[in-house]
Chains A and B, each alone.
Chain A
Amino acid sequence: MALRSLVSIVDDDESVRESLPDLLTELGFAVEAFASAEAFLASDCIGRTSCLLLDIAMPGMKGPDLQRELTLRRQAIPIVYITACRGDAVRPQLLENGAVQCLFKPFSDTALREALDSALNVN
């Protein structure tokens, strides 16, 4: 079995950090979950992460802030945003700024699978 791709999750919501890793594991990915953007940046996972599942609204550093920081560090990690705020205006903006996909919570496993596929293909 090939080395499983690492998907990192950054979300302040605990239920997401609990539920999403199990599903991703079932889908065949390695998973690391972080409660904040700052915790992710402090970890050693940045270089190994194949795809980042990133919440938008968080205390402290927001999702797009982390995206900018990674761009500054020349870390071209594909990003799939996950958000509980259903804002139609936000989505095109995020996609334009380079996000692979933007999923509105709650999302189905199929939608997640497709987003990850497209992110990894890009890679």
Chain B
Amino acid sequence: MTESPGIQNGIRLETVIPNGAASLESILRTEELLGRRSRLPDHEKENSALAALVGALADSPRTILQTLSDKVLDVLEADSAGLSLLTKDNKRFYWAAIAGAWQPHAGGGTPRDFGPCGDVLDRNVPMLFTHWERRYPYLGAALPLAEEGLLVPFLVKGRSVGTIWAIAHNGQRKFDREDLRLLESMGRFASAAYQTVESIEDLKVEIAAREKAESELRELAGSLEAQVTARTEDLEQRNRQLADARALLAEEKLQLERSEAFLARAQGLSRTGSWHLSLRTGTIAWSRELATILGFESESESASDPLFLQRIHPEDRFRVDQIRSAAITERKDYDVEYRLCLPGVIKHVHAVGNYSASDSGDPEYIGAVMDITERKRAEEDLRRSEAFLAQAQRLSRTGSFSWRVATDEIACSAELHRIFALDTPAPVTLEAIRARIHPEDMHLIDAMILHARADARDFEYEPTLQMPDGSIKYLHLIAHGVRDHDGRLEYIGSVQDVTQRRLSEDALAKARTDLAHVSRVSSLGVLTASIAHEVNQPLSGIVTNASTCLRMLGADPPNVEGARETARRTIRDGNRASEVISRLRSLFANKGAATESVDLNEATREVIALSSSRLQRDRAILRTELADDLPPVSGDRVQLQQVILNLLQNALDAMSTVDDRPRQLVVRTERDEGDRVRLTVQDAGVGFGPQVGERLFEAFYTTKSDGMGIGLSVSRAIIERHRGRLWAAPNDGPGAAVAFSIPCVAGDGAGRNREGIISAPVLADAERVMRSL
């Protein structure tokens, strides 16, 4: 007897039946049926059905039960019809034959003591049920559902052995007394037919057994000896086979044990438990790991659905049960995440159930439960740290980005979106970024992008943004270029909004400039005072002597000798005054430089590095053309750097009002003729007219509205002390070039210091002034 795919779904008995299951009386409609108006009997149809059954009994008794089902379906105009028979152990009914919609359930069945068939047999009367799955939920899996089910006992030799039934799946069809009469009538016929079939079958079995026994007897008698020999051999072979089979079995058992151990280990490592559920028997099995996940001592608790449900977090329990029940009803797979509530701990799990039929065709579910608590926690941590990062970026006004150069894919943090005031949902493009750049910075940014595309490099810029509302933002951008495994270039960087800092820096720089100007002026004042003191002393003598001389000559008689003496002293004081002047000149013109070997390229690079902030602020594009083979020069490194700095600053000053062309600045070093080295600073600034020429280098001459006119004259003095030359020339285009040329070999020590002649305070003042300039 088979009990394959069908309804017997005992497993659900403990789990699915709700506590408030419907009572038997509530699903019975028998009394109502007796009160329903009967339709007119169709004797013709009934007779033809019985005739068909008789024909079937004669022609093919083995299919009599199926034919009966077909005819019941036909005569009662039911949707499904069939015959349930008690199994020999009296524990279950099995559906021996089914016609109509339930045909696919043939072979299924119901428990003896918990189902409609059992109820009919208990009371031994016909019964009409409606929606029996309300009381017997396992019947909910037998689709389509039964709107009405009419059952009559099936009696064989006065003993109930099953039921005959007809089902209406549609509310339109209502069974009535005529249907009951027909069913009972066909039941009686079926009873007779069943007995006949049973007798015929019994007889056949008896005859076959007798024939077989006789033939065996004949064979035995005929070849007893041969049989004994054959049997012995057979037995020996079987013994060998048995031994082989045993060995094989042992080997298989070993392998099975091993793979089970592996599986248990793997489940433990992956925190994944598995389960198996047979829909036919309702038995459920858990892997050891599943028991562990559910918080049970692995062997002490036997697996069961209530135990499992009890572990599910109360808030999730209903949802999980619904999803699972729905899946089982429709024989579908399911996939659900929920929480487990174990003593003192909440776990997150991911559960899957997979419907399949076993080798023997039994419906079953195999599933897995993964403990994803760690993953959930990691996800939570990740969410939290992402929130922290966003907060930190917000507070520090720093956004981050990545830029894939080949595809121009740009990923930005939320703070960067905010800094650039970009629409968050729209993908960020290079164009969207460029649109925010201040027009004056555009060429800088384009140059930067061009450089960045060429090769992986690190760069740092201070671009200025012009926002849609017209406001200005100053940014500090740092990017790091990397290549991935495939050599694709990507930049990762950060952008800080330094507007506030920049504004205060600007204010500070202005204050510094003002201060420097004041200190330059005051230093110059000190120097002037010193010079005046030195010159006024002899002048004072001259004036006094001349006055005395006049008085002596005007006396009566004139004191000629005294007058001559005072005139001599006047001449001497005049010479002294002249000497003071020449001493001052020698201080500026002939002060010997502290000589050392200076790499002019390196000195230039240092000055450029010192000026980089100003270069960026002035939006100047600097090009350096430093000769590779430049020989060192002999001189005072600091003084030479002052000159270079002075030339650079003059160039920047000259370009400060230039807005109609790039503020191009070139610093070039090269060998000059006659073992000399030349440095040129070329700007694209306002330049100077031909009439200015040499006057540029006069002290206190300036073309600037706020300049002192000291820089170039001091620069020339320094260069001349290095036995070099400093000159300026207008460019062919806009702007000018200022260059100096100095010998690259050590000098002969000409122009030695004569500072000792001049009084110490003057020298100290002069040096201080020189430094401040």
User: Which of B4-12, B187-195, B546-554 forms part of the interface with chain A?
Assistant: B546-554
Instruction: Tell whether, in the assembled complex, residue A23 and residue B541 are in contact, meaning their CB atoms are under 8 Å apart.
Output: no
Residue of A whose beta carbon sits closest to that of B554: A26
Instruction: Tell whether, in the assembled complex, residue A84 and residue B536 are in contact, meaning their CB atoms are under 8 Å apart.
Output: yes
Residue of A whose beta carbon sits closest to that of B536: A84
Residue B87 at the chain A interface, CB threshold 8 Å: no
Q: Among B532, B540, B552, which residue has its beta carbon within 8 angstroms of that of A15?
A: B540
Residue of A whose beta carbon sits closest to that of B570: A19
Q: Among B529, B547, B572, B576, which residue has its beta carbon within 8 angstroms of that of A23?
A: B547
Residue B539 at the chain A interface, CB threshold 8 Å: yes
Residue A57 at the chain B interface, CB threshold 8 Å: yes
Residues in B neighbouring A85, C-beta threshold 8 A: 529, 532-533, 536
Q: Among B529, B544, B551, which residue has its beta carbon within 8 angstroms of that of A19?
A: B544
Name the interface residues of A64-104: CB closer than 8 Å to any CB of B: 82, 84-87, 104
Q: Among B533, B547, B566, B572, which residue has its beta carbon within 8 angstroms of that of A57?
A: B533
How far apart are the CA atoms of A20 and B541 in the complex, in Å?
Answer: 8
Instruction: Tell whether, in the assembled complex, residue B536 and residue A22 are in contact, meaning their CB atoms are under 8 Å apart.
Output: no
Residue of A whose beta carbon sits closest to that of B573: A15
Instruction: Tell whether, in the assembled complex, residue A22 and residue B562 are in contact, meaning their CB atoms are under 8 Å apart.
Output: yes
Residue B369 at the chain A interface, CB threshold 8 Å: no
Residue of B whose beta carbon sits closest to that of A109: B547
How far apart are the CA atoms of A56 and B229 in the complex, in Å?
Answer: 155
Q: Among A22, A84, A86, which residue has its beta carbon within 8 angstroms of that of B537?
A: A84
Residue B372 at the chain A interface, CB threshold 8 Å: no
How far apart are the CA atoms of A44 and B545 in the complex, in Å?
Answer: 28
Q: Quote the shortest CB–CB distance from B438 to chain A (angstroms).
A: 49
Q: Among A22, A26, A84, which residue has its beta carbon within 8 angstroms of that of B540?
A: A84
Residue A13 at the chain B interface, CB threshold 8 Å: yes
Q: Quote the shortest CB–CB distance from A116 to chain B (angstroms).
A: 14
Q: Among B543, B551, B552, B569, which residue has its beta carbon within 8 angstroms of that of A108?
A: B543
Interface digits, B618-661 against A, CB 8 Å rule (1 contact, 0 not)? 00000000000000000000000000000000000000000000
Name the interface residues of A1-33: CB closer than 8 Å to any CB of B: 13, 15-16, 18-20, 22-23, 26-27
Instruction: Tell whether, in the assembled complex, residue B536 and residue A105 are in contact, meaning their CB atoms are under 8 Å apart.
Output: yes
Instruction: Tell whether, in the assembled complex, residue A86 and residue B532 are in contact, meaning their CB atoms are under 8 Å apart.
Output: yes
Instruction: Tell whether, in the assembled complex, residue B544 and residue A23 are in contact, meaning their CB atoms are under 8 Å apart.
Output: yes
Q: Quote the shortest CB–CB distance from A85 to chain B (angstroms).
A: 5
Residues in B neighbouring A84, C-beta threshold 8 A: 532-534, 536-537, 540
Name the interface residues of B572-587: CB closer than 8 Å to any CB of A: 572-573, 576
Residues in A neighbouring B536, C-beta threshold 8 A: 84-86, 104-106
Instruction: Tell whether, in the assembled complex, residue A16 and residue B529 are in contact, meaning their CB atoms are under 8 Å apart.
Output: no
Residue B167 at the chain A interface, CB threshold 8 Å: no
How far apart are the CA atoms of A20 and B552 in the complex, in Å?
Answer: 14
Q: Quote the shortest CB–CB distance from B645 to chain A (angstroms).
A: 34
How far apart are the CA atoms of A20 and B569 in the complex, in Å?
Answer: 12
Instruction: Tell whether, in the assembled complex, residue A106 and residue B532 are in contact, meaning their CB atoms are under 8 Å apart.
Output: no
Q: Among A18, A57, A86, A107, which residue has its beta carbon within 8 angstroms of that of B543?
A: A107
Residue B743 at the chain A interface, CB threshold 8 Å: no
Residues in A neighbouring B744, C-beta threshold 8 A: none
Known: A86-B532, A87-B529, A106-B536. A15 touches B576 (CB 8 A): yes
Q: Quote the shortest CB–CB distance from A111 to chain B (angstroms).
A: 10
How far apart are the CA atoms of A57 and B532 in the complex, in Å?
Answer: 13
How far apart are the CA atoms of A23 and B565 in the complex, in Å?
Answer: 12
How far apart are the CA atoms of A16 and B576 in the complex, in Å?
Answer: 13
Residues in A neighbouring B551, C-beta threshold 8 A: 23, 26-27, 109
* Most chain A CB inside 10 Å of its own CB: which residue of B538, B555, B576: B538
How far apart are the CA atoms of A106 and B538 in the complex, in Å?
Answer: 8
* Most chain B CB inside 10 Å of its own CB: which residue of A15, A84, A104, A109: A15
How far apart are the CA atoms of A109 and B544 in the complex, in Å?
Answer: 7
Residue B320 at the chain A interface, CB threshold 8 Å: no
Residue of A whose beta carbon sits closest to that of B544: A19
Instruction: Tell whether, in the assembled complex, residue A19 and residue B545 are in contact, meaning their CB atoms are under 8 Å apart.
Output: yes
Residue B542 at the chain A interface, CB threshold 8 Å: yes
Residues in B neighbouring A104, C-beta threshold 8 A: 536
Interface digits, B511-549 against A, CB 8 Å rule (1 contact, 0 not)? 000000000000000000100111011111111110110
Interface digits, B369-395 against A, CB 8 Å rule (1 contact, 0 not)? 000000000000000000000000000
Known: A23-B551, A84-B537, A106-B539. A16 touches B544 (CB 8 A): yes
Residue of B whose beta carbon sits closest to that of A22: B548
Instruction: Tell whether, in the assembled complex, residue A86 and residue B539 are in contact, meaning their CB atoms are under 8 Å apart.
Output: no
How far apart are the CA atoms of A82 and B536 in the complex, in Å?
Answer: 11
Instruction: Tell whether, in the assembled complex, residue A18 and residue B537 are in contact, meaning their CB atoms are under 8 Å apart.
Output: no
How far apart are the CA atoms of A104 and B225 in the complex, in Å?
Answer: 165
Residues in B neighbouring A87, C-beta threshold 8 A: 529
Instruction: Tell whether, in the assembled complex, residue A18 and residue B533 are in contact, meaning their CB atoms are under 8 Å apart.
Output: no
Known: A57-B533, A85-B532, A106-B536. A16 touches B541 (CB 8 A): yes
Residues in A neighbouring B566, C-beta threshold 8 A: 19, 22
Q: Quote the shortest CB–CB distance from B578 to chain A (angstroms).
A: 14
How far apart are the CA atoms of A84 and B565 in the complex, in Å?
Answer: 24
Instruction: Tell whether, in the assembled complex, residue B548 and residue A26 are in contact, meaning their CB atoms are under 8 Å apart.
Output: yes
Known: A22-B548, A26-B552, A84-B532. A15 touches B543 (CB 8 A): no
How far apart are the CA atoms of A105 and B573 in the complex, in Å?
Answer: 13
Q: Among B532, B537, B552, which residue has its beta carbon within 8 angstroms of that of A16?
A: B537
How far apart are the CA atoms of A22 and B561 in the complex, in Å?
Answer: 13
Residue of B whose beta carbon sits closest to that of A84: B536
Instruction: Tell whether, in the assembled complex, residue A19 and residue B532 are in contact, meaning their CB atoms are under 8 Å apart.
Output: no
Instruction: Tell whether, in the assembled complex, residue B533 and residue A19 are in contact, meaning their CB atoms are under 8 Å apart.
Output: no
Binding site for A on B (CB under 8 A): 529, 532-534, 536-545, 547-548, 551-552, 555, 562, 565-566, 569, 572-573, 576
Q: Which 7 A-B pairs have the closest CB atoms?
A: A15-B541, A105-B540, A106-B543, A84-B536, A109-B547, A19-B544, A106-B540
Excluding A13-B540, A23-B548, A86-B529, 4 further A-B contacts by CB distance (< 8 Å) are: A19-B569, A27-B551, A106-B541, A107-B540
| 17 sample A-B contacts, Cβ–Cβ < 8 Å, listed by A number | A13-B540, A15-B569, A16-B537, A16-B544, A18-B541, A19-B548, A22-B548, A22-B552, A26-B555, A84-B533, A84-B536, A85-B533, A86-B532, A87-B529, A106-B536, A109-B547, A109-B548
